[in-house]
Chains A and B, each alone.
Chain A
Amino acid sequence: MSKNNDITIINWIKFKWLYFAISAMLIVISIVSLAVNGVIIGLEFRGGSELTILSQQDLPVDNLRESIANEEIEVVSIQRSGEEQYMFRLGQVEENQKAKIIELITSENSDAVEQSFQIVGPSIGPELIKKTFFAVAIAAITILGWVAYQFKSIKFGVSAILAMLHDSFILIGSISVFGALYGAEVDFLFITAVLTTLSFSVHDTIVVFDRIREIQKGESDITKIANQAVTETMRRSIINSLTIIFMLAALVILGGVTIRWFAVSLLVGAVLGTYSSPFVAVPLLATWEKMTKK
């Protein structure tokens, strides 16, 4: 019995323009949403202050917004964030102003209690963004180098990195959409989710590339190689992403409120990371190889 007698190699690469179109569409949606809606920036990056209040009875949010603004404190938003929980997003607040705000709230409803309070100076946000950017840039360059070295070709490295950037960009686009629809924020947990997606995406791509490298030893037509590699790794890709999806879906559905958007971002990232290996990285590589062979 020779190898692959009982699996049919599917001509995945034939539909590469479809995959490129899907990716292009997702990227365009992301760009449009980012341009139109932007993202809701979390406290860590925005600077300002955030006060969480627990109150068993409903708080008159509109009245409070007005009375706090009358104290010349900037009110970014007041939101019900849980069963009995209210989130006050405010501008820079001095310690004595905070006491005043709590007084205003308790005058509306005496059982309201302060649960958490945060102040972030305006200089911190840009600093965190810069550091994260440096970290991602260094990680990306190192991965590019490693993949290019390991697969003896810069094309492998660049394709893997492009797929990785594709995933993270669409993830950022989707948080923009979720922000517009459900108020999801870009906070530090989201940044962690983007980093997770970066790692996961490359991890997943390398598995497929590894198969390409193996098949390359006996075959020279890149389209055939790519098709065979994608076919042979498809089962593994699906099973693997299912295990991750089960895990994260449990967190999204059953997990606490504080990590809900984090879990959603991880889930979106995991789906993108798995999708992009056979449908972005491999078609890119195959197209590029073909173009340079001509």
Chain B
Amino acid sequence: MSNFNRFLLIIFISVLALFFALPKSFKIGDQEINRNDINISFGNFAFFRSLDLKLGLDLQGGTHLLFDVDTSGLSEAERESALASLKEVVSRRVNLYGVSEPNIQLASFEGKNRIIVELPGVDNPDEAIALVGRTAQLTFFELGGDEASPSAIPTDLTGSDVKSAQVVFDNVSAKPAVSIEFTTEGAVKFEEVTERNIGKAVPIVLDDQIISAPVVQDKISGGSAQISGDFTIDEADNLAIQINGGALPAPMSLVEQSTIGPSLGKESIDKSVQAGVFGIVIVAVFMILMYGKLGVVADVGLLLFTIYTLALYKLIPVVLTLPGIAGFLLSVGMAVDSNILIFERFREEIRDGVSREFALERGFGRAWDSIRDANIATLVTAFVLANPFNWSFLHTSGPVRGFAVTLALGIMISLFTGVFVSRTLLRLTVKDKKLKNEQK
């Protein structure tokens, strides 16, 4: 690739990144520009990204809850499916509560199972705790009343009568279905319920919401039943998880709660952002004072670094927290360092009396070793802290991870801007006054 093509590529990437990085609505002069979120779909492929930067609870306010899950009453095998179901149950409750973009996560450590619930914008935790924290209720209903005013009456068949539910494939149609296994006691109750309701629907209700309303074909004895219908695998999976949520009740107890008022961070954040911008401006001026024209190139690189980073935060998306900002700042420092390393090598080469263009290439070559080794070491640290494989003995959530993710991203982007972008721009800037003589 010629240097000019590289330059075009950089411009292309930058314009694209700028499109994502700019806020959703902003003003140029008197004109206000509003942009739509990205929403692409064709066939099975769907891609949606909001152009708003996602802020963590510590920056935007909200409620953070941590529950201990008591799985002592369950066998090893049941535990995993009970936890998955619990997560599903909690998600449903949170969705009913109308929170936008909640975060619900399972975490386990040394045999303790936990569920983390983060509710942005919720500042009344008591209500949220009451809603989220109760044990799931699964009940089979039967229909009563007449056709004009049908009513649903709860039966005595509940979640505690269900042993488990799982996805199976129908013998005849080969379509996904959900099979339910009842306890001995449940089998008797289920037989009675089905006997009373042949040809009628038996709604299954989880936490006051109907999750399925299968129609009874025949009296079913023996303690196992199958709900078949026009399910996709996902739908069948989901239904099985929900039934299990009521069948394998795992009581939760609150162990950590924090509420951050929306105003708490606000003033502090505004100040910190101002301070950050001020700091970056000083660094930019300092670079120009130290390195002149080269400093300008470094500053352009820094500006592009910020634009790329913002764009990636929105595309991935990364939830930005205070520790995340620390990771970002550290990577800014390292991006600047890459430039300083290159410029210092360049100076040394110039001092050796070679041409400027040659000095530039040699400087890059020599600086690259340091940049590579140093950044890989940092990347390794970030990788361990980010815990991408979700090892339970490391942090699976929270601030340390937030820090590591932005740091790792920052290092990768800074390798691109510090080396590829700076190099291309410098090659355009640094020209020998005399003819190109010593170029490689």
Residues of A within 8 A of B (CB): 1-3, 5-6, 52, 95, 114-121, 123-124, 127-128, 130-132, 134-135, 138-139, 142-143, 146-147, 150, 188-189, 191-193, 195-196, 198-200, 202-204, 206-207, 209-211, 214, 232, 235-236, 239-240, 242-244, 246-251, 253-259, 262, 266, 270
Contact yes or no, B369 A196, CB < 8 A: no
Known: A120-B255, A203-B374, A243-B337. 12 other contacts (CB 8 A): A6-B351, A95-B126, A120-B258, A135-B400, A195-B404, A200-B333, A203-B375, A206-B374, A243-B336, A256-B265, A256-B270, A256-B272
The interface residues of chain A lying within 8 Å CB-to-CB of B256 are 119-121, 124
Contact yes or no, B380 A189, CB < 8 A: no
Q: How far is the CA of A35 from the CA of B379 in the complex (A)?
A: 35
* B432 in the interface (beta carbon within 8 A): no
Q: A118-B259, A188-B398 are in contact. Are A256 and B377 (CB under 8 A)?
A: no
Distance (whole angstroms) from the CB of B13 to the closest CB of chain A: 25
Contact yes or no, A196 B393, CB < 8 A: no
The interface residues of chain A lying within 8 Å CB-to-CB of B375 are 203
Contact yes or no, A206 B373, CB < 8 A: yes
Q: How far is the CA of A193 from the CA of B322 in the complex (A)?
A: 11
Q: How far is the CA of A120 from the CA of B66 in the complex (A)?
A: 9
Q: A134-B393, A214-B366, A239-B290 are in contact. Are A202 and B255 (CB under 8 A)?
A: no
* B326 in the interface (beta carbon within 8 A): yes
Q: How far is the CA of A253 from the CA of B394 in the complex (A)?
A: 34
The interface residues of chain B lying within 8 Å CB-to-CB of A251 are 272, 275-276, 279, 329
From A2, A115, A210, give the contact of B373 (CB < 8 A): A210
Q: How far is the CA of A235 from the CA of B267 in the complex (A)?
A: 38
Contact yes or no, B370 A142, CB < 8 A: no
The interface residues of chain A lying within 8 Å CB-to-CB of B393 are 130-131, 134
* B403 in the interface (beta carbon within 8 A): yes
Q: How far is the CA of A150 from the CA of B264 in the complex (A)?
A: 47
From A139, A192, A200, give the contact of B384 (CB < 8 A): A139
Contact yes or no, A247 B280, CB < 8 A: yes
Which of B27-35, B143-151, B340-348 makes up part of the contact surface?
Answer: B340-348
The interface residues of chain A lying within 8 Å CB-to-CB of B327 are 196
Distance (whole angstroms) from the CB of B275 to the closest CB of chain A: 4
Q: A135-B394, A198-B381, A258-B268 are in contact. Are A191 and B286 (CB under 8 A)?
A: no
Contact yes or no, A266 B344, CB < 8 A: no
A-B contact list, 18 entries, CB within 8 Å? A117-B125, A118-B257, A118-B258, A119-B256, A131-B109, A150-B373, A189-B399, A193-B326, A199-B330, A203-B334, A206-B377, A207-B370, A210-B373, A210-B374, A246-B279, A254-B274, A258-B264, A262-B326
The interface residues of chain B lying within 8 Å CB-to-CB of A116 are 258-261, 264
Q: How far is the CA of A122 from the CA of B211 in the complex (A)?
A: 38
CB interface residues, B 242-276, toward A, < 8 Å? 254-261, 263-265, 267-272, 274-276
Contact yes or no, A119 B257, CB < 8 A: yes
The interface residues of chain A lying within 8 Å CB-to-CB of B323 are 188-189, 192
Distance (whole angstroms) from the CB of B9 to the closest CB of chain A: 28
Contact yes or no, A207 B263, CB < 8 A: no
Contact yes or no, B400 A191, CB < 8 A: yes
Contact yes or no, B332 A247, CB < 8 A: yes
* B314 in the interface (beta carbon within 8 A): no
Distance (whole angstroms) from the CB of B346 to the closest CB of chain A: 11
CB-based closest 5 A-B pairs = A256-B268, A121-B255, A250-B279, A254-B275, A118-B258
- Secondary structure at the A interface, as helix, strand, loop or mixed, is helix
Contact yes or no, B394 A202, CB < 8 A: no
* B278 in the interface (beta carbon within 8 A): yes
The interface residues of chain B lying within 8 Å CB-to-CB of A259 are 268, 272, 322
The interface residues of chain B lying within 8 Å CB-to-CB of A262 are 322, 326
Interface size band for B: 35 or more
From B126, B275, B366, give the contact of A255 (CB < 8 A): B275
Against A, the Cβ 8 Å flags (1 = close, 0 = not) of B369-396 are 1100111111011101101000001110
Distance (whole angstroms) from the CB of B379 to the closest CB of chain A: 9
Q: How far is the CA of A239 from the CA of B329 in the complex (A)?
A: 17
Q: How far is the CA of A285 from the CA of B329 in the complex (A)?
A: 30
Q: Which residue of A lies closest to B403 (CB)?
A: A192
Contact yes or no, B395 A202, CB < 8 A: no
Q: Which residue of B lies closest to A251 (CB)?
A: B275
Contact yes or no, A199 B378, CB < 8 A: yes
Residues of B within 8 A of A (CB): 66, 68, 109-110, 112, 125-126, 254-261, 263-265, 267-272, 274-276, 278-280, 282-283, 286-287, 290, 322-323, 326-327, 329-330, 332-334, 336-337, 340-341, 344, 348, 351-353, 366, 369-370, 373-378, 380-382, 384-385, 387, 393-395, 398-400, 403-404, 407
The interface residues of chain B lying within 8 Å CB-to-CB of A206 are 370, 373-374, 377
Q: A116-B259, A135-B400 are in contact. Are A202 and B381 (CB under 8 A)?
A: yes
Q: How far is the CA of A146 from the CA of B411 in the complex (A)?
A: 17
The interface residues of chain B lying within 8 Å CB-to-CB of A200 are 330, 333, 378
From A132, A139, A189, A254, give the contact of B381 (CB < 8 A): A139
Q: How far is the CA of A116 from the CA of B340 in the complex (A)?
A: 44
Contact yes or no, A240 B337, CB < 8 A: yes
Contact yes or no, A207 B257, CB < 8 A: no
From A6, A123, A132, A192, give the contact of B255 (CB < 8 A): A123
Q: Which residue of B lies closest to A7 (CB)?
A: B351
The interface residues of chain B lying within 8 Å CB-to-CB of A191 are 399-400
Contact yes or no, A256 B271, CB < 8 A: yes
Q: Which residue of B lies closest to A114 (CB)?
A: B261
Contact yes or no, A146 B376, CB < 8 A: yes
Q: How far is the CA of A128 from the CA of B109 in the complex (A)?
A: 10
The interface residues of chain A lying within 8 Å CB-to-CB of B255 are 120-121, 123-124
Contact yes or no, A3 B352, CB < 8 A: yes
From A115, A118, A239, give the contact of B263 (CB < 8 A): A115
Contact yes or no, A1 B272, CB < 8 A: no
Q: A116-B258, A117-B125, A257-B268 are in contact. Are A236 and B330 (CB under 8 A)?
A: no
Q: A232-B348, A250-B275 are in contact. Are A258 and B370 (CB under 8 A)?
A: no
From B257, B326, B351, B394, give the contact of A192 (CB < 8 A): B326
Distance (whole angstroms) from the CB of B172 to the closest CB of chain A: 51
Q: How far is the CA of A147 from the CA of B387 in the complex (A)?
A: 21
Q: How far is the CA of A132 from the CA of B261 in the complex (A)?
A: 28
Q: How far is the CA of A236 from the CA of B351 in the complex (A)?
A: 16
Q: How far is the CA of A118 from the CA of B123 in the complex (A)?
A: 12
Contact yes or no, B377 A132, CB < 8 A: no
Q: Which residue of A lies closest to B130 (CB)?
A: A95
Distance (whole angstroms) from the CB of B251 to the closest CB of chain A: 16
Q: How far is the CA of A241 from the CA of B326 in the complex (A)?
A: 16
Q: How far is the CA of A143 from the CA of B379 in the complex (A)?
A: 10
